[in-house]
Structure 1
Amino acid sequence: MDSVNHVTCEKRSYSREFHSHQHEFGQFLFPLQGSLDIQTKWQEINLDSDYCFYLPPRFDHNYRSMDRNEFLILDIPTQYLPENTSSMYIRLDKQWASIRYLLLEEAKSQENTSSLADLTRYVTSKLQISKPPSIDYIHKHFKESIRLETLAKIEHYHPAYYSAWFKKKTGKSPKVYISEHRLKEAKYLLISTIWSMSRISEELGFENSSSFTRWFVSCEGISPQKYRILNNR
Protein backbone atom coordinates (compact mmCIF):
# COMPACT_ATOMS: atom_id res chain seq x y z
CA MET A 1 0.00 0.00 0.00
CA ASP A 2 1.25 3.48 -0.87
CA SER A 3 1.95 5.25 2.43
CA VAL A 4 2.02 8.63 0.72
CA ASN A 5 -1.76 8.44 0.20
CA HIS A 6 -2.95 5.64 2.50
CA VAL A 7 -2.53 4.82 6.17
CA THR A 8 -0.32 1.78 6.73
CA CYS A 9 -0.10 -0.07 10.04
CA GLU A 10 2.17 -3.12 10.22
CA LYS A 11 4.96 -4.86 12.12
CA ARG A 12 8.52 -4.38 10.90
CA SER A 13 12.01 -5.43 11.93
CA TYR A 14 15.31 -3.67 11.29
CA SER A 15 18.86 -4.80 10.52
CA ARG A 16 22.13 -4.07 12.31
CA GLU A 17 23.44 -1.85 9.51
CA PHE A 18 22.69 1.87 9.56
CA HIS A 19 20.27 2.97 6.86
CA SER A 20 19.46 6.58 6.00
CA HIS A 21 16.34 7.98 4.39
CA GLN A 22 13.33 10.27 4.69
CA HIS A 23 9.73 9.76 3.61
CA GLU A 24 6.85 11.88 2.38
CA PHE A 25 4.57 10.79 5.22
CA GLY A 26 4.66 10.97 9.01
CA GLN A 27 5.59 7.86 10.95
CA PHE A 28 4.99 6.54 14.46
CA LEU A 29 7.26 3.81 15.82
CA PHE A 30 6.05 1.66 18.72
CA PRO A 31 8.62 -0.86 20.07
CA LEU A 32 7.29 -4.37 20.59
CA GLN A 33 10.60 -6.13 21.10
CA GLY A 34 14.20 -4.92 21.26
CA SER A 35 15.31 -1.36 20.58
CA LEU A 36 16.13 0.93 17.66
CA ASP A 37 18.95 3.45 17.33
CA ILE A 38 17.70 6.58 15.57
CA GLN A 39 19.92 9.48 14.57
CA THR A 40 18.74 12.82 13.23
CA LYS A 41 20.65 16.04 12.76
CA TRP A 42 20.09 17.05 16.39
CA GLN A 43 19.10 13.83 18.14
CA GLU A 44 20.49 10.42 19.04
CA ILE A 45 17.87 8.07 20.46
CA ASN A 46 17.82 4.48 21.59
CA LEU A 47 14.11 3.76 21.28
CA ASP A 48 13.02 1.03 23.68
CA SER A 49 9.77 -0.31 25.11
CA ASP A 50 9.25 2.67 27.44
CA TYR A 51 8.77 5.19 24.61
CA CYS A 52 7.32 5.68 21.16
CA PHE A 53 8.66 8.07 18.56
CA TYR A 54 7.12 10.25 15.87
CA LEU A 55 9.01 11.23 12.72
CA PRO A 56 7.54 14.05 10.60
CA PRO A 57 7.50 13.97 6.78
CA ARG A 58 10.72 14.74 4.87
CA PHE A 59 12.85 14.31 7.99
CA ASP A 60 16.30 12.82 7.39
CA HIS A 61 17.19 10.05 9.82
CA ASN A 62 19.51 7.08 10.24
CA TYR A 63 18.36 3.90 11.96
CA ARG A 64 19.52 0.44 12.97
CA SER A 65 18.84 -2.21 15.60
CA MET A 66 21.57 -4.14 17.37
CA ASP A 67 19.28 -6.79 18.84
CA ARG A 68 16.34 -8.99 17.95
CA ASN A 69 13.56 -6.53 17.31
CA GLU A 70 10.01 -5.92 16.20
CA PHE A 71 8.18 -2.60 15.90
CA LEU A 72 4.65 -1.57 15.15
CA ILE A 73 4.83 1.13 12.48
CA LEU A 74 2.08 3.58 11.59
CA ASP A 75 2.69 5.48 8.35
CA ILE A 76 0.49 8.58 8.24
CA PRO A 77 -0.22 10.53 5.02
CA THR A 78 0.23 14.29 5.26
CA GLN A 79 -3.50 14.96 4.88
CA TYR A 80 -3.99 13.47 8.36
CA LEU A 81 -1.26 15.59 9.96
CA PRO A 82 -1.28 19.12 11.40
CA GLU A 83 1.08 21.55 9.73
CA ASN A 84 4.74 21.84 10.73
CA THR A 85 4.98 18.83 13.01
CA SER A 86 8.36 18.08 14.57
CA SER A 87 9.86 14.84 15.82
CA MET A 88 8.52 13.81 19.21
CA TYR A 89 9.86 11.37 21.79
CA ILE A 90 6.85 10.23 23.84
CA ARG A 91 6.73 8.18 27.03
CA LEU A 92 4.54 5.13 26.52
CA ASP A 93 2.08 5.82 29.35
CA LYS A 94 -1.24 3.99 29.79
CA GLN A 95 -2.99 6.02 27.10
CA TRP A 96 -0.27 5.50 24.50
CA ALA A 97 0.00 1.82 25.45
CA SER A 98 -3.76 1.51 24.83
CA ILE A 99 -3.33 3.21 21.45
CA ARG A 100 -0.58 0.74 20.59
CA TYR A 101 -2.88 -2.15 21.52
CA LEU A 102 -5.69 -0.85 19.29
CA LEU A 103 -3.25 -0.31 16.41
CA LEU A 104 -1.97 -3.86 16.86
CA GLU A 105 -5.51 -5.16 16.55
CA GLU A 106 -6.02 -3.12 13.38
CA ALA A 107 -2.72 -4.40 11.98
CA LYS A 108 -3.89 -7.98 12.55
CA SER A 109 -7.22 -7.63 10.80
CA GLN A 110 -6.62 -5.06 8.03
CA GLU A 111 -10.30 -5.55 7.19
CA ASN A 112 -11.84 -2.23 8.11
CA THR A 113 -9.75 0.60 6.66
CA SER A 114 -12.20 3.22 7.91
CA SER A 115 -11.63 2.23 11.55
CA LEU A 116 -7.86 2.46 11.03
CA ALA A 117 -8.34 5.91 9.47
CA ASP A 118 -10.45 7.01 12.45
CA LEU A 119 -7.84 5.70 14.88
CA THR A 120 -5.11 7.49 12.95
CA ARG A 121 -7.01 10.76 13.21
CA TYR A 122 -7.22 10.22 16.96
CA VAL A 123 -3.48 9.55 17.12
CA THR A 124 -2.66 12.75 15.23
CA SER A 125 -5.02 14.79 17.41
CA LYS A 126 -3.29 13.40 20.49
CA LEU A 127 0.05 14.25 18.90
CA GLN A 128 -0.96 17.92 18.94
CA ILE A 129 -1.81 17.95 22.66
CA SER A 130 0.85 15.56 23.96
CA LYS A 131 3.29 17.14 26.36
CA PRO A 132 6.93 16.43 25.41
CA PRO A 133 8.89 14.74 28.25
CA SER A 134 11.03 17.80 28.98
CA ILE A 135 7.98 20.05 29.38
CA ASP A 136 6.40 17.44 31.64
CA TYR A 137 9.66 17.50 33.63
CA ILE A 138 9.38 21.30 34.01
CA HIS A 139 5.85 21.00 35.39
CA LYS A 140 7.03 18.48 37.96
CA HIS A 141 10.32 20.16 38.91
CA PHE A 142 9.77 23.90 38.36
CA LYS A 143 10.43 24.56 42.07
CA GLU A 144 14.00 23.34 41.56
CA SER A 145 16.91 24.76 39.61
CA ILE A 146 16.57 23.36 36.07
CA ARG A 147 19.50 23.42 33.66
CA LEU A 148 19.02 23.72 29.91
CA GLU A 149 21.34 20.75 29.42
CA THR A 150 19.06 18.60 31.59
CA LEU A 151 16.01 19.45 29.48
CA ALA A 152 17.88 18.90 26.21
CA LYS A 153 19.10 15.51 27.41
CA ILE A 154 15.54 14.41 28.19
CA GLU A 155 14.56 15.06 24.56
CA HIS A 156 17.89 13.69 23.27
CA TYR A 157 18.56 17.05 21.60
CA HIS A 158 21.76 19.03 21.42
CA PRO A 159 21.40 22.00 23.85
CA ALA A 160 22.06 24.48 21.01
CA TYR A 161 19.05 23.14 19.13
CA TYR A 162 16.81 22.52 22.14
CA SER A 163 16.16 26.21 22.84
CA ALA A 164 14.98 26.79 19.26
CA TRP A 165 12.84 23.66 19.37
CA PHE A 166 11.34 24.68 22.73
CA LYS A 167 10.45 28.16 21.47
CA LYS A 168 8.80 26.66 18.39
CA LYS A 169 6.74 24.41 20.66
CA THR A 170 5.72 26.97 23.28
CA GLY A 171 6.44 30.42 21.82
CA LYS A 172 8.77 31.09 24.77
CA SER A 173 12.30 30.37 25.88
CA PRO A 174 12.74 27.65 28.54
CA LYS A 175 13.74 30.31 31.09
CA VAL A 176 10.61 32.39 30.48
CA TYR A 177 8.37 29.32 30.43
CA ILE A 178 9.70 28.11 33.79
CA SER A 179 9.41 31.58 35.33
CA GLU A 180 5.82 32.00 34.12
CA HIS A 181 4.83 28.60 35.46
CA ARG A 182 6.39 29.39 38.83
CA LEU A 183 4.64 32.78 38.87
CA LYS A 184 1.30 31.13 38.15
CA GLU A 185 1.83 28.82 41.12
CA ALA A 186 2.90 31.75 43.32
CA LYS A 187 -0.28 33.68 42.50
CA TYR A 188 -2.39 30.62 43.22
CA LEU A 189 -0.78 30.14 46.65
CA LEU A 190 -1.12 33.84 47.51
CA ILE A 191 -4.83 33.86 46.72
CA SER A 192 -5.90 30.38 47.82
CA THR A 193 -3.94 30.03 51.08
CA ILE A 194 -3.13 32.08 54.16
CA TRP A 195 0.46 30.86 54.13
CA SER A 196 3.19 33.25 55.18
CA MET A 197 5.65 34.64 52.63
CA SER A 198 8.30 32.41 54.15
CA ARG A 199 6.26 29.28 53.61
CA ILE A 200 5.32 30.23 50.06
CA SER A 201 8.90 31.09 49.18
CA GLU A 202 10.02 27.73 50.59
CA GLU A 203 7.28 25.90 48.69
CA LEU A 204 8.43 27.52 45.43
CA GLY A 205 12.09 26.75 45.99
CA PHE A 206 13.40 30.20 46.93
CA GLU A 207 16.17 30.59 49.50
CA ASN A 208 14.12 33.01 51.60
CA SER A 209 11.11 35.33 51.51
CA SER A 210 13.26 38.31 50.49
CA SER A 211 14.46 36.63 47.31
CA PHE A 212 10.88 35.52 46.57
CA THR A 213 9.59 39.08 47.06
CA ARG A 214 12.29 40.57 44.80
CA TRP A 215 11.50 38.03 42.09
CA PHE A 216 7.74 38.59 42.36
CA VAL A 217 8.13 42.38 42.14
CA SER A 218 10.36 42.03 39.06
CA CYS A 219 7.66 39.90 37.40
CA GLU A 220 4.49 41.69 38.49
CA GLY A 221 5.56 45.19 39.47
CA ILE A 222 4.00 44.85 42.92
CA SER A 223 4.92 42.95 46.07
CA PRO A 224 3.32 39.54 46.75
CA GLN A 225 1.74 40.97 49.90
CA LYS A 226 0.02 43.71 47.90
CA TYR A 227 -1.01 41.21 45.21
CA ARG A 228 -2.69 39.09 47.90
CA ILE A 229 -4.58 42.07 49.34
CA LEU A 230 -5.77 43.30 45.93
CA ASN A 231 -7.01 39.87 44.88
CA ASN A 232 -8.70 38.87 48.13
CA ARG A 233 -11.09 41.75 48.39
Structure 2
Amino acid sequence: MDTVNHIICEKRSYTRDFNSHHHEFGQFLFPLKGSLDIHTKWQEINLNSDYCFYIPPKIEHSYRSIDRNEFLVLDIPIQYLPDDTSDMYIRLDEKWTSIRYLLLEEAKNQENLSSLVNLTRYVTDKIQTTNPTSIEYIHKHYKESIRLETLASIERYHPVYYSSWFKKKMGKSPKAYITELRLKEAKHLLISTKWSMSEISEELRFENSSSFTRWFVKFEGISPQKYRILNNG
Protein backbone atom coordinates (compact mmCIF):
# COMPACT_ATOMS: atom_id res chain seq x y z
CA MET A 1 0.00 0.00 0.00
CA ASP A 2 1.41 3.37 -1.03
CA THR A 3 0.54 6.79 0.35
CA VAL A 4 1.38 10.37 -0.64
CA ASN A 5 0.77 13.57 1.30
CA HIS A 6 1.40 16.00 -1.55
CA ILE A 7 0.68 16.11 -5.28
CA ILE A 8 3.27 14.38 -7.45
CA CYS A 9 3.44 14.94 -11.22
CA GLU A 10 6.30 13.19 -13.01
CA LYS A 11 7.30 10.91 -15.86
CA ARG A 12 7.67 7.19 -15.10
CA SER A 13 8.48 3.99 -16.96
CA TYR A 14 7.36 0.45 -16.15
CA THR A 15 8.98 -2.99 -16.38
CA ARG A 16 7.95 -6.09 -18.33
CA ASP A 17 7.02 -8.02 -15.17
CA PHE A 18 3.58 -7.69 -13.62
CA ASN A 19 3.58 -5.80 -10.33
CA SER A 20 0.53 -5.51 -8.07
CA HIS A 21 -0.42 -2.97 -5.44
CA HIS A 22 -3.00 -0.41 -4.36
CA HIS A 23 -2.55 3.06 -2.98
CA GLU A 24 -4.27 5.51 -0.68
CA PHE A 25 -4.43 8.21 -3.35
CA GLY A 26 -5.90 8.73 -6.80
CA GLN A 27 -3.69 8.34 -9.85
CA PHE A 28 -3.94 9.53 -13.45
CA LEU A 29 -1.85 7.83 -16.11
CA PHE A 30 -1.21 9.65 -19.41
CA PRO A 31 0.72 7.63 -22.03
CA LEU A 32 3.62 9.45 -23.70
CA LYS A 33 5.35 6.48 -25.31
CA GLY A 34 4.42 2.81 -25.57
CA SER A 35 1.52 1.15 -23.75
CA LEU A 36 0.70 -0.27 -20.34
CA ASP A 37 -1.26 -3.40 -19.45
CA ILE A 38 -3.43 -2.73 -16.39
CA HIS A 39 -5.56 -5.42 -14.74
CA THR A 40 -8.08 -4.82 -11.96
CA LYS A 41 -10.63 -7.25 -10.58
CA TRP A 42 -13.08 -6.35 -13.33
CA GLN A 43 -10.94 -4.85 -16.08
CA GLU A 44 -8.15 -5.70 -18.48
CA ILE A 45 -6.81 -2.59 -20.22
CA ASN A 46 -4.06 -1.96 -22.69
CA LEU A 47 -3.52 1.75 -22.12
CA ASN A 48 -2.13 3.39 -25.26
CA SER A 49 -1.68 6.90 -26.58
CA ASP A 50 -5.40 7.33 -27.39
CA TYR A 51 -6.56 7.14 -23.76
CA CYS A 52 -5.73 8.08 -20.20
CA PHE A 53 -6.78 6.19 -17.08
CA TYR A 54 -7.77 7.22 -13.58
CA ILE A 55 -7.28 4.74 -10.72
CA PRO A 56 -9.16 5.59 -7.48
CA PRO A 57 -7.71 5.00 -4.02
CA LYS A 58 -7.66 1.41 -2.67
CA ILE A 59 -8.19 -0.28 -6.06
CA GLU A 60 -5.89 -3.30 -6.32
CA HIS A 61 -4.28 -3.38 -9.77
CA SER A 62 -1.52 -5.15 -11.66
CA TYR A 63 0.52 -3.47 -14.36
CA ARG A 64 3.36 -4.06 -16.81
CA SER A 65 4.68 -2.77 -20.12
CA ILE A 66 6.22 -5.05 -22.74
CA ASP A 67 7.60 -2.22 -24.86
CA ARG A 68 9.68 0.90 -24.38
CA ASN A 69 7.41 3.23 -22.48
CA GLU A 70 7.01 6.54 -20.73
CA PHE A 71 3.98 7.84 -18.85
CA LEU A 72 3.06 11.09 -17.22
CA VAL A 73 1.72 10.18 -13.78
CA LEU A 74 -0.30 12.44 -11.50
CA ASP A 75 -0.62 11.19 -7.90
CA ILE A 76 -3.45 12.99 -6.08
CA PRO A 77 -3.78 12.80 -2.28
CA ILE A 78 -7.28 12.00 -1.05
CA GLN A 79 -7.83 15.51 0.34
CA TYR A 80 -8.01 16.79 -3.24
CA LEU A 81 -10.47 14.12 -4.40
CA PRO A 82 -14.27 13.97 -4.30
CA ASP A 83 -15.67 11.69 -1.62
CA ASP A 84 -16.33 8.79 -3.97
CA THR A 85 -14.66 8.22 -7.32
CA SER A 86 -14.62 5.30 -9.70
CA ASP A 87 -12.02 4.32 -12.25
CA MET A 88 -12.28 6.15 -15.56
CA TYR A 89 -11.00 4.99 -18.95
CA ILE A 90 -10.98 8.27 -20.87
CA ARG A 91 -10.39 8.97 -24.54
CA LEU A 92 -7.78 11.67 -25.01
CA ASP A 93 -9.97 14.18 -26.78
CA GLU A 94 -8.97 17.81 -27.26
CA LYS A 95 -9.79 18.69 -23.65
CA TRP A 96 -7.81 15.86 -22.06
CA THR A 97 -4.92 16.31 -24.49
CA SER A 98 -4.70 19.93 -23.36
CA ILE A 99 -4.77 18.81 -19.71
CA ARG A 100 -1.89 16.43 -20.42
CA TYR A 101 0.11 19.22 -22.04
CA LEU A 102 -0.41 21.54 -19.04
CA LEU A 103 0.56 18.78 -16.61
CA LEU A 104 3.73 18.15 -18.62
CA GLU A 105 4.61 21.81 -18.26
CA GLU A 106 4.00 21.68 -14.50
CA ALA A 107 6.12 18.53 -14.20
CA LYS A 108 9.06 20.58 -15.53
CA ASN A 109 8.50 23.29 -12.94
CA GLN A 110 8.64 21.86 -9.42
CA GLU A 111 9.55 25.16 -7.79
CA ASN A 112 6.06 26.69 -7.93
CA LEU A 113 3.63 24.07 -6.68
CA SER A 114 0.64 26.44 -6.46
CA SER A 115 0.04 26.15 -10.21
CA LEU A 116 0.12 22.36 -9.99
CA VAL A 117 -2.35 22.42 -7.10
CA ASN A 118 -4.73 24.63 -9.08
CA LEU A 119 -4.42 22.42 -12.15
CA THR A 120 -5.00 19.29 -10.05
CA ARG A 121 -8.17 20.80 -8.60
CA TYR A 122 -9.33 21.42 -12.16
CA VAL A 123 -8.55 17.81 -13.11
CA THR A 124 -10.41 16.38 -10.10
CA ASP A 125 -13.41 18.54 -11.00
CA LYS A 126 -13.39 16.85 -14.41
CA ILE A 127 -13.59 13.47 -12.68
CA GLN A 128 -17.07 14.49 -11.53
CA THR A 129 -18.25 16.23 -14.71
CA THR A 130 -16.86 13.96 -17.43
CA ASN A 131 -19.22 11.22 -18.57
CA PRO A 132 -17.59 7.79 -18.88
CA THR A 133 -17.02 6.74 -22.49
CA SER A 134 -19.84 4.16 -22.51
CA ILE A 135 -22.38 6.77 -21.41
CA GLU A 136 -21.24 9.11 -24.17
CA TYR A 137 -21.76 6.16 -26.52
CA ILE A 138 -25.30 5.68 -25.24
CA HIS A 139 -26.14 9.33 -25.90
CA LYS A 140 -24.92 8.99 -29.49
CA HIS A 141 -26.54 5.61 -30.22
CA TYR A 142 -29.61 5.31 -27.95
CA LYS A 143 -31.93 5.10 -30.96
CA GLU A 144 -30.19 1.89 -31.97
CA SER A 145 -30.12 -1.52 -30.34
CA ILE A 146 -27.32 -1.47 -27.75
CA ARG A 147 -26.03 -4.66 -26.16
CA LEU A 148 -24.82 -4.69 -22.56
CA GLU A 149 -21.67 -6.46 -23.73
CA THR A 150 -20.89 -3.57 -26.08
CA LEU A 151 -21.13 -1.02 -23.27
CA ALA A 152 -19.04 -3.16 -20.93
CA SER A 153 -16.31 -3.60 -23.54
CA ILE A 154 -16.07 0.18 -24.02
CA GLU A 155 -15.14 0.60 -20.34
CA ARG A 156 -13.05 -2.58 -20.44
CA TYR A 157 -15.30 -4.07 -17.73
CA HIS A 158 -16.54 -7.62 -17.49
CA PRO A 159 -20.29 -7.55 -18.36
CA VAL A 160 -21.25 -9.06 -14.99
CA TYR A 161 -19.77 -6.02 -13.25
CA TYR A 162 -20.84 -3.31 -15.69
CA SER A 163 -24.53 -3.26 -14.70
CA SER A 164 -23.84 -2.73 -11.00
CA TRP A 165 -21.19 -0.09 -11.81
CA PHE A 166 -23.62 1.73 -14.09
CA LYS A 167 -26.48 1.65 -11.59
CA LYS A 168 -24.23 3.00 -8.84
CA LYS A 169 -23.08 5.85 -11.09
CA MET A 170 -26.37 6.74 -12.83
CA GLY A 171 -28.98 5.58 -10.32
CA LYS A 172 -30.68 3.19 -12.75
CA SER A 173 -29.90 0.26 -15.00
CA PRO A 174 -28.48 0.75 -18.51
CA LYS A 175 -31.77 -0.48 -19.99
CA ALA A 176 -33.82 2.02 -17.96
CA TYR A 177 -31.41 4.84 -18.83
CA ILE A 178 -31.65 4.11 -22.56
CA THR A 179 -35.45 3.85 -22.35
CA GLU A 180 -35.58 7.24 -20.63
CA LEU A 181 -33.56 8.83 -23.44
CA ARG A 182 -35.77 7.29 -26.13
CA LEU A 183 -38.93 8.39 -24.34
CA LYS A 184 -37.62 11.93 -24.03
CA GLU A 185 -36.86 12.02 -27.75
CA ALA A 186 -40.22 10.48 -28.63
CA LYS A 187 -42.06 13.14 -26.59
CA HIS A 188 -39.97 15.88 -28.19
CA LEU A 189 -40.83 14.65 -31.68
CA LEU A 190 -44.53 14.28 -30.86
CA ILE A 191 -44.75 17.86 -29.57
CA SER A 192 -42.31 19.72 -31.82
CA THR A 193 -43.03 18.08 -35.19
CA LYS A 194 -45.98 17.03 -37.30
CA TRP A 195 -44.37 13.75 -38.18
CA SER A 196 -46.60 10.73 -38.50
CA MET A 197 -46.35 7.78 -36.11
CA SER A 198 -44.57 5.86 -38.88
CA GLU A 199 -41.97 8.59 -39.29
CA ILE A 200 -41.34 8.83 -35.55
CA SER A 201 -41.13 5.07 -35.16
CA GLU A 202 -38.63 4.92 -38.03
CA GLU A 203 -36.54 7.70 -36.46
CA LEU A 204 -36.42 5.77 -33.16
CA ARG A 205 -35.59 2.49 -34.96
CA PHE A 206 -38.83 0.63 -34.21
CA GLU A 207 -40.00 -2.05 -36.64
CA ASN A 208 -43.26 -0.22 -37.29
CA SER A 209 -45.67 2.32 -35.81
CA SER A 210 -47.60 -0.40 -33.97
CA SER A 211 -44.55 -1.55 -32.02
CA PHE A 212 -43.72 2.09 -31.24
CA THR A 213 -47.27 2.70 -29.96
CA ARG A 214 -47.23 -0.42 -27.75
CA TRP A 215 -43.87 0.61 -26.31
CA PHE A 216 -45.03 4.17 -25.63
CA VAL A 217 -48.25 3.01 -23.92
CA LYS A 218 -46.25 0.58 -21.76
CA PHE A 219 -44.18 3.39 -20.24
CA GLU A 220 -46.53 6.40 -20.43
CA GLY A 221 -49.94 4.81 -19.96
CA ILE A 222 -51.43 6.62 -22.97
CA SER A 223 -50.96 6.37 -26.71
CA PRO A 224 -48.50 8.68 -28.49
CA GLN A 225 -51.42 10.15 -30.47
CA LYS A 226 -53.22 11.11 -27.28
CA TYR A 227 -50.00 12.45 -25.75
CA ARG A 228 -49.57 14.73 -28.76
CA ILE A 229 -53.14 16.05 -28.46
CA LEU A 230 -52.87 16.69 -24.71
CA ASN A 231 -49.56 18.52 -25.00
CA ASN A 232 -50.32 20.62 -28.06
CA GLY A 233 -53.21 22.40 -26.38
TM-score normalised by the chain length of structure 2: 0.98
User: Would you say the 8 A contact 1:36–1:64 is kept in 2?
Assistant: yes
Number of the residue aligned with 1:218? 218
User: Would you say the 8 A contact 1:9–1:72 is kept in 2?
Assistant: yes
1:23 alignment partner AA:
H
Where does 1:22-101 land on structure 2 (aligned, <5 Å)? 22-101=22-101
* Number of corresponding residues: 232
Identical positions, percent: 78
CA distance, structure 1, for counterparts of residue 30 and residue 172 of structure 2? 30
Displacement after TM superposition at 1:228 (Å): 1.2
Number of the residue aligned with 2:123? 123
Displacement after TM superposition at 1:4 (Å): 2.1
User: Would you say the 8 A contact 1:90–1:133 is kept in 2?
Assistant: yes
User: Would you say the 8 A contact 1:3–1:75 is kept in 2?
Assistant: no
1:66 alignment partner AA:
I
CA distance, structure 2, for counterparts of residue 197 and residue 110 of structure 1? 63
RMSD: 1.0
Displacement after TM superposition at 1:144 (Å): 1.0
Q: Which runs of 4+ in 1 moved over 3 A?
A: none
Runs of at least 5 residues in structure 2 that lack an aligned partner in the other structure: none
CA distance, structure 2, for counterparts of residue 79 and residue 159 of structure 1? 32
TM-score normalised by the chain length of structure 1: 0.98
CA distance, structure 2, for counterparts of residue 63 and residue 46 of structure 1? 10
2:210 alignment partner AA:
S
Displacement after TM superposition at 1:66 (Å): 0.7
2:57 alignment partner AA:
P
SS in 2 for 1:169: helix
CA distance, structure 2, for counterparts of residue 210 and residue 67 of structure 1? 56
1:26 alignment partner AA:
G
Number of the residue aligned with 1:139? 139
Displacement after TM superposition at 1:3 (Å): 5.8
CA distance, structure 2, for counterparts of residue 193 and residue 81 of structure 1? 45
Number of the residue aligned with 1:12? 12
SS in 1 for 2:139: helix
